[in-house]
Amino acid sequence: MFFEDPLPDNGTNERFTTIFGILNVATAGNYQFAVSSDDIGNLYLSSDENPANKTRIAREPEWNGSRQYAATDRRPGQGNISAMQTLAAGNYYLGIHLR
């Protein structure tokens, strides 16, 4: 599943975007998430569907290309990939703040 900004890159760095939604987990288990963005991006997951309960689970510290989740040439380490998240079946707030 990809959670992407549908707007094309217009070559400027003066745009901020927040994308959010409700993640419906049908099967309980361990899940891992990753973020890749042009400039800094923060990925948040809530313990339920309430955004007030969100915590940052991954961060893109640099700019990277679309879907460059595993690339290491522009980012130190893999902070853009979350630790395993143990989720019960249910709904969760998922959001990304992009700069």
- What is the count of structural domains for the chain? 1
Going by the DSSP 8-state scheme, the letter that residue 34 receives in this structure is B
Q: Which segments of the chain are extended strands (E)?
A: 17-25, 29-31, 41-46, 54-60, 85-87, 90-98
How does pLDDT run across 39-82, given as a tens digit for each residue? Answer: 788 999 999 999 999 999 999 887 777 777 777 666 666 788 89
**Which residue in 97, 92, 99, 98 sits closest to 46, CA to CA?**
92
Write down the pTM of the prediction.
0.82
Residue 54 within a domain: yes
Residue 43 within a domain: yes
Question: Residue 29 forms beta bridges with which residues?
Answer: 87
Residue 75 within a domain: yes
**Which range marks the domain in which residue 68 is found?**
29-98
Residue 71 within a domain: yes
Residue 1 within a domain: no
Residue 78 within a domain: yes
Residue 48 within a domain: yes
